[in-house]
């Protein structure tokens, strides 16, 4: 094979979705034995581009070359035929099947399925690259990281030479991320071509050989990782110089606001999701909440908001004006009627925090629709509030009556955050408040959180990016399997420390 | 190689925020009706008649004379009333397909009141107190009949589609039993109501048409401007959001179902008191199902329902005439109605999506 020949080369790839230009004439080359990081903000077209390589979308224009020959990828099957395998952000596994069964699922078999032989081959692949996976384990027994490993083994089993990983570290702990990177390096030594889609700069620096940057569907350029730094990459990604520091002032007027003691909750399937959690949230501080996805973060916030049935424990609210209330057993409506201003920005913005089919006015009404006597809703105040949020947070929308479902992710979040902080909350809870947002909007959100903290609100910030948690919060509470694993001082703690707390209660390694 | 890089011949694309202009939307909708009539003419041709003449006969049969027009309106009134009844449920994404049964329940209750109290009143002209009591009883039983599946859904999250459907068969069965048993007058029929239980006529049609027109405004205001209407819209969009906002979802569901059943029950009252002057197990006659189409086609807009139900009234009345005058089999008119509904519902697809033909280099071809 000639040296200047790419394993996969994209030339002038263009893709529209309706009026949106998702990819605008993109050129990209990928060599064997190389890890390429595809960097870009949310909505810059990274996943769209890679979906065209894996046969999910068809490009409107442009061509794809494999080893110098033009090819056409019309289905995931075609992609596999060319040795391209993609590991999606949302795993595509059958829960009740074993690892090996998931691997052979959908593959055409010449003869009868020999599961023993499959298991042996899976073990062989694992040994070669350093995976740890039991082919006979059922998927529902697996952790997130195991599921991801399974997805990777699946594409390797099918003979993939070119691997695309979409945001692989989003759900992993720092330790799991290190393990993943070790495996990726092994695969690189085995002369595979690897693309990792990401928006985390430290990961780009840690793992990749080259970085290709996309911005708003346009290809900006490819540079060797060794010749760049996070600041330069951010500037390329955003298109202008941005400051990456989060301002963290100290509010010296902290008062106890929420006293949570021995809180336990079960979910709808009667699985214990929260197990004897105790902590105190202070007014005037940002309390970060870290943990592997599904460790009880959602239940913690929903329990405080009165949305999750509580099995035991107490949540004592201390009002800034003096006086206290026990929140356990109260419905959201009762909490509101007591005059407790509890703001909640849930993870599922359109599915829980907003009404997608309504405009901004209708969504502002979600907090105030009961106000006033008589059977009719009052639209004047919510309309004024909608206009205020529109201006204050610079929401981009064709109009305040335009359905919020059709707005971009960042604007959807601005509508939600704008409404919640408009009630001048004494407790502000947020779950993954910056997920899917561009850098600019993320910083707007961070600043709003800090602003609320300085106003004396108790801010509870559930996050997934440990770097952000460490920069933004005053203290960080770590959950592990529904238990309180530890509370650390965000100004002094390290990422590794939190990573350990995330995987084992109290930070002790399991035997 | 050239051949391998081709894209598919036809692709679909969702119209995003740049939806079609209203003018085009209505042009597509109108076009779909014309297209359906065109398809229908094939069926008429196959049956050995002249399509143009057939359509002319249908139109004349529906609106040609004052009497025909009255009959058309009479067909449209229950459709409109019932569509108004199910609109709040559908807005809430509660698939109430039990309107048929709720109408029957209403008619049953009204008949019960007539049998119980009519002898207490005197005279041979419609009696307002009796009619009011009949209407009230009809709304109550219709509402309760709808409340049962509503309660089960709110309490145990049962499947409302199956539940409401099954409730239809139960109440129709009850009426069939009454008709052939305890309430039988002769030949398996229930006796006609005395005149004082007949809805008075206005402009040749029972005054139910005035009631449903008033309902159009009431339902519109309820859905768009009331607190309860807001709650219904939020639940329809997302149950979780409703809970988040502190709404009592179960209570609202039951309330809405009761309201919906009550309006359906009122339609049942109008049918037995105004149209047939008696009760039979076929009193609803499919209105509860056809009105689902009316509600859907008008996209839950109360005013659009007036137009759609009139259109359906014209079609069914026209089809009746077609059958008697031109001796076209009844099945053909059913085919035409079916085609129309199919095309009108199907055209929404072209309003929401765009078809893209394979592009020639440098040029883009789009249709519709």
Contact of B12 with chain A, judged by CB distance below 8 Å, is answered with no
Distance of alpha carbon A210 from alpha carbon A36, whole angstroms: 5
**Is the separation of the CB atoms in B312 and B104 below 8 Å?**
no
Indicate the SS3 state at residue B18: coil
- Output the pLDDT for position B2: 40
Q: What is the mean pLDDT of residues A215-243?
A: 87
Domains of chain A: 8-238 (3.40.50.300), 255-341+424-507 (3.40.50.300), 358-421 (no CATH)
Query: Average per-residue pLDDT in chain A?
Result: 88
Give, to the nearest 10 degrees, the angle between helix A174-189 and helix A495-503. 100
**Is the separation of the CB atoms in A314 and A328 below 8 Å?**
yes
Q: What is the mean pLDDT of residues A468-489?
A: 93
State whether A398 and B17 contact (CB < 8 Å). Answer: yes
pLDDT tens per residue across span A30-41: 999 999 999 988
CB–CB contacts below 8 A, A to B: 92
3-state secondary structure string across B106-122: HHHHHHHHHHHHHHHCC
Indicate the SS3 state at residue A185: helix
Angle among Cα A330, B257, B265 to the nearest 5 degrees reads 150
- CB-nearest to A406 from B6, B17, B246 is B17
Tokens found for residue A446: 């961070």
State whether A367 and B1 contact (CB < 8 Å). Answer: no
- Output the pLDDT for position B4: 44
**One pLDDT digit (tens) per residue for chain B, 368 residues:** 344 445 567 777 777 655 677 888 888 888 998 999 899 899 888 888 888 988 898 899 888 899 999 999 999 999 999 999 999 999 999 999 999 999 999 999 999 999 999 888 877 888 899 999 999 999 999 999 999 999 999 999 999 999 999 999 999 999 999 999 899 888 889 989 998 999 998 888 889 999 999 999 999 999 999 999 999 999 999 999 999 999 999 999 999 999 999 999 999 999 999 999 999 999 998 999 999 989 988 889 999 999 989 988 988 888 888 888 887 777 777 788 788 888 888 888 888 887 777 665 444 434 33
Angle among Cα B117, B122, B128 to the nearest 5 degrees reads 70
- Output the pLDDT for position A194: 93
Q: Which residues contact B138 (CB under 8 A, 6 or more apart)?
A: B105, B106, B107, B109, B110, B265, B266, B268, B269
State whether B240 and A344 contact (CB < 8 Å). Answer: no
- Output the pLDDT for position A165: 92
Rounded to a whole number of angstroms, the distance from the CA of A112 to the nearest CA of chain B is 33
How many other C-beta atoms lie within 10 A of the C-beta of residue A74?
Answer: 14
Distance of alpha carbon A305 from alpha carbon A400, whole angstroms: 28
- CB-nearest to A333 from B1, B7, B246 is B246
- CB-nearest to B227 from A60, A352, A369 is A369
Closest chain A residue to B18 measured between Cα atoms?
A19
Q: Which helix (H) or strand (E) holds B206?
A: strand B205-206
- Chain A residues within an 8 Å CB radius of B1: 69-70
Indicate the SS3 state at residue B48: coil
Residue in this structure with the two tokens 């609109």, named with its chain if needed:
B87
CA B82 centroid distance within chain: 5
**Is the separation of the CB atoms in A175 and A503 below 8 Å?**
yes
Beta bridge partners of A290: A478
- Output the pLDDT for position A368: 87
Q: Which of A304, A351, A419 to mutate to test the interface with B (most CBs of B within 10 A)?
A: A351
Closest chain B residue to A336 measured between Cα atoms?
B246
Rounded to a whole number of angstroms, the distance from the CA of A348 to the nearest CA of chain B is 9
pLDDT tens per residue across span A429-465: 999 998 878 888 888 899 999 999 999 999 999 998 8
Name the DSSP class of B5.
G
Indicate the SS3 state at residue A321: coil
**Is the separation of the CB atoms in B140 and B109 below 8 Å?**
yes
Q: Which helix (H) or strand (E) holds B138?
A: helix B128-156
* Whether the predicted pLDDT of A232 surpasses 60: yes
Q: Which helix (H) or strand (E) holds B133?
A: helix B128-156
Residue in this structure with the two tokens 């009868």, named with its chain if needed:
A112
Tokens found for residue B146: 């709808």
Sign of the four-CA dihedral A382, A388, A393, A397: positive
DSSP assignment of B49-106, as one string?
Answer: S-HHHHHHHHHHHHHSSHHHHHHHHHHHHHHHHHHHHHHHHHHTT-----HHHHHHHH
State whether A376 and B227 contact (CB < 8 Å). Answer: yes
Q: In 3D, which of B341, B259, B294, B335 has the Cα closest to residue B78?
A: B294
* Whether the predicted pLDDT of A264 surpasses 90: yes
Q: Which helix (H) or strand (E) holds A50?
A: helix A46-53
Contact of B259 with chain A, judged by CB distance below 8 Å, is answered with no
Sign of the four-CA dihedral B228, B230, B233, B234: negative
Tokens found for residue A256: 């106890």
Please report, for chain B, the start and end positions of each structural domain, with discontinuous segments joined by +. 50-327
Distance of alpha carbon A489 from alpha carbon A487, whole angstroms: 7
**Is the separation of the CB atoms in B80 and B305 below 8 Å?**
yes
Q: Which residues contact B296 (CB under 8 A, 6 or more apart)?
A: B90, B345
- Chain A residues within an 8 Å CB radius of B359: 60
Distance of alpha carbon A24 from alpha carbon A15, whole angstroms: 7
Q: Which residues contact A76 (CB under 8 A, 6 or more apart)?
A: A54, A55, A56
- Chain A residues within an 8 Å CB radius of B16: 17-20, 406
- CB-nearest to B237 from A336, A357, A398 is A357
Tokens found for residue A160: 């993939």
Counted residue by residue, chain B has a size of 368
Tokens found for residue A299: 């239940």
pLDDT tens per residue across span A178-226: 889 999 999 999 999 999 998 888 888 999 999 999 988 899 999 999 9
Contact of B320 with chain A, judged by CB distance below 8 Å, is answered with no
Helix, strand, coil content of chain B in percent (nearest 5)? 70, 5, 25
CATH 2.60.40 given to domain B50-327:
no
Asked casually if ipTM beats, i.e. exceeds, 0.90, the reply is no
The phi, psi pair for A15, rounded to 5°, reads: -145, 125
pLDDT tens per residue across span A84-108: 999 988 888 898 998 888 888 877 7
Residue in this structure with the two tokens 């110098």, named with its chain if needed:
A68
**Is the separation of the CB atoms in B74 and B206 below 8 Å?**
yes
When computed from its CA atoms, the radius of gyration of chain A, rounded to whole angstroms, is: 25
Interface of B with A in 186-225 (CB under 8 A): 225
Closest chain A residue to B4 measured between Cα atoms?
A72
Beta bridge partners of B222: none
Distance of alpha carbon B315 from alpha carbon B340, whole angstroms: 9
Rounded to a whole number of angstroms, the distance from the CA of A71 to the nearest CA of chain B is 7
Q: In 3D, which of B320, B344, B12 has the Cα closest to residue A18?
A: B12
Contact of B364 with chain A, judged by CB distance below 8 Å, is answered with no
Q: In 3D, which of A449, A458, A388 has the Cα closest to residue A422?
A: A388
Distance of alpha carbon A199 from alpha carbon A167, whole angstroms: 8
- Chain B residues within an 8 Å CB radius of A370: 227
Tokens found for residue A105: 């699922």
Class of residue B51 by CB neighbours under 10 A (exposed 0-12, middle 13-18, buried 19+): middle
Q: Which helix (H) or strand (E) holds A472?
A: helix A466-472
Q: Which of A366, A383, A396, A423 to mutate to test the interface with B (most CBs of B within 10 A)?
A: A366
- Output the pLDDT for position B363: 40
**Is the separation of the CB atoms in A467 and A202 below 8 Å?**
yes
Q: In 3D, which of B46, B274, B244 has the Cα closest to residue A353?
A: B244
Counted residue by residue, chain A has a size of 511
**Is the separation of the CB atoms in A324 and A316 below 8 Å?**
yes
Contact of B9 with chain A, judged by CB distance below 8 Å, is answered with no
Strand A324-326's sheet: what is its strand order? A272-283, A255-266, A310-318, A324-326
**A37 Rama class: left (phi>0) / alpha (psi -120 to 50) / beta:** beta
Q: Which of A52, A65, A72, A75 to mutate to test the interface with B (most CBs of B within 10 A)?
A: A72
Beta bridge partners of A461: A288, A430
A267 — pLDDT class (breaks 50, 70, 90):
confident
Distances (CA, A) of A348 to A14, A204, A431, A433, B42: 31, 28, 9, 10, 51
């Amino acid at each position: 094979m000639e040296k200047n020949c790419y394993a996969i080369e994209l030339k002038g790839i263009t893709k529209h979705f309706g009026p949106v230009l998702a990819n605008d004439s993109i050129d990209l080359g990928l060599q064997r034995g190389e890890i390429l990081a595809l960097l870009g903000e949310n909505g810059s077209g990274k996943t769209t581009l890679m979906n065209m390589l894996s046969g999910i979308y068809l490009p409107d224009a442009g061509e794809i070359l494999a080893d110098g020959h033009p090819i056409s990828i019309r289905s995931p099957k075609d992609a596999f035929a060319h040795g391209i395998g993609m590991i999606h952000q949302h795993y595509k596994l059958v829960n009740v099947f074993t690892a090996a069964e998931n691997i052979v699922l959908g593959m055409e078999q010449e003869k009868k399925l020999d599961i023993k032989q499959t298991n042996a081959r899976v073990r062989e692949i694992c040994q070669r690259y350093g995976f740890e996976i039991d082919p006979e384990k059922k998927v529902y027994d697996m952790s997130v990281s195991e599921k991801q490993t399974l997805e990777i083994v699946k594409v390797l089993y099918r003979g993939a030479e070119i691997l695309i990983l979409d945001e692989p570290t989003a759900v992993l702990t720092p330790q799991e991320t290190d393990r993943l990177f070790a495996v990726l390096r092994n695969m690189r030594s085995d002369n595979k071509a690897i693309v990792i889609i990401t928006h985390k700069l430290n990961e780009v620096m840690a793992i990749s050989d080259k970085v290709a940057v996309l911005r708003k569907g346009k290809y900006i350029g490819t540079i060797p990782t060794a010749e760049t730094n996070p600041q330069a990459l951010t500037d390329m990604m955003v298109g202008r110089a941005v400051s990456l520091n989060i301002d963290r002032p100290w509010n010296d007027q902290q008062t106890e606001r929420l006293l949570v003691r021995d809180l336990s909750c079960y979910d709808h399937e009667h699985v214990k999701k929260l197990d004897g959690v105790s902590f105190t949230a202070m007014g005037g501080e940002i309390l970060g909440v870290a943990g592997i996805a599904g460790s009880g973060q959602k239940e913690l916030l929903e329990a405080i908001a009165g949305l999750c049935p509580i099995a035991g424990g107490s949540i004592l609210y201390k009002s800034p004006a003096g006086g206290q209330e026990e929140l356990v057993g109260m419905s959201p409506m009762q909490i509101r009627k007591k005059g407790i201003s509890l703001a909640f920005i849930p993870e599922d913005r359109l599915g829980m925090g907003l009404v997608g089919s309504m405009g901004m006015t209708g969504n502002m009404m979600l907090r105030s629709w009961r106000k006033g006597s008589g059977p009719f809703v009052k639209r004047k105040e919510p309309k004024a509030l909608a206009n205020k949020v529109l201006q204050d947070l610079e929401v981009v929308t064709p109009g305040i009556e335009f359905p919020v479902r059709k707005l971009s992710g960042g604007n959807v979040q601005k509508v939600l955050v704008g409404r919640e902080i408009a009630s001048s909350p004494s407790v502000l809870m947020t779950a993954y408040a910056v997920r899917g947002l561009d850098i600019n909007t993320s910083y707007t959100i961070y600043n709003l959180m800090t602003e609320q903290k300085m106003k004396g609100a108790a801010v509870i910030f559930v996050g997934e990016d440990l770097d952000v948690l460490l920069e933004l919060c005053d203290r960080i509470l770590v959950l592990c399997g529904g238990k309180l694993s530890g509370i650390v001082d965000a100004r002094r703690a390290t990422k590794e420390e939190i990573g350990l707390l995330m995987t084992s209660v109290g930070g002790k390694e399991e035997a | 190689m050239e051949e391998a890089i081709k894209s598919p011949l036809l692709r679909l694309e969702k119209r995003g925020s740049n939806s079609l202009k209203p003018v085009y939307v209505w042009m597509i909708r109108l076009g779909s009706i014309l297209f359906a009539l065109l398809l229908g003419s094939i069926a008429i041709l196959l049956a050995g008649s002249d399509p143009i003449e057939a359509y002319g006969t249908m139109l004349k049969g529906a609106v040609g004379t004052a009497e025909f027009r009255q009959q058309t309106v009479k067909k449209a009134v229950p459709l409109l009333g019932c569509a108004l009844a199910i609109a709040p449920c559908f807005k809430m994404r509660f698939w109430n397909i039990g309107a048929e049964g709720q109408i029957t329940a209403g008619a049953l209750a009204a008949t019960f009141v007539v049998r119980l109290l009519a002898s207490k009143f005197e005279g041979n002209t419609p009696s307002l107190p009796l009619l009011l009591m009949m209407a009230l009883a009809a709304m109550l039983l219709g509402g309760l009949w709808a409340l049962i599946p509503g309660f089960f859904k709110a309490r145990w999250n049962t499947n409302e589609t199956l539940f409401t459907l099954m409730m239809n068969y139960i109440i129709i069965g009850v009426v069939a039993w009454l008709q052939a048993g305890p309430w039988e007058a002769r030949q398996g029929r229930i006796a006609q109501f005395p005149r004082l239980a007949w809805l008075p006529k206005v402009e040749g049609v029972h005054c139910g048409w005035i009631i449903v027109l008033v309902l159009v405004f009431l339902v519109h205001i309820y859905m768009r401007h009331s607190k309860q209407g807001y709650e219904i819209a939020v639940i329809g969009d997302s149950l979780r959001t409703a809970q988040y906002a502190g709404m009592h979802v179960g209570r609202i569901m039951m309330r809405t179902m009761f309201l919906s059943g009550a309006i359906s029950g009122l339609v049942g009252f109008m049918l037995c008191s105004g149209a047939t002057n008696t009760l039979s197990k076929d009193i609803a006659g499919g209105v509860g199902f056809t009105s689902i189409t009316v509600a859907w086609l008008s996209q839950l807009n109360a005013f659009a329902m007036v137009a759609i139900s009139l259109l359906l009234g014209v079609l069914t009345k026209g089809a009746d005439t077609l059958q008697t005058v031109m001796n076209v089999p009844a099945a053909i008119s059913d085919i035409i109605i079916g085609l129309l509904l199919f095309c009108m519902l199907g055209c929404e697809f072209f309003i929401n999506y765009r078809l893209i033909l394979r592009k020639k280099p440098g040029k883009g071809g789009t249709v519709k």
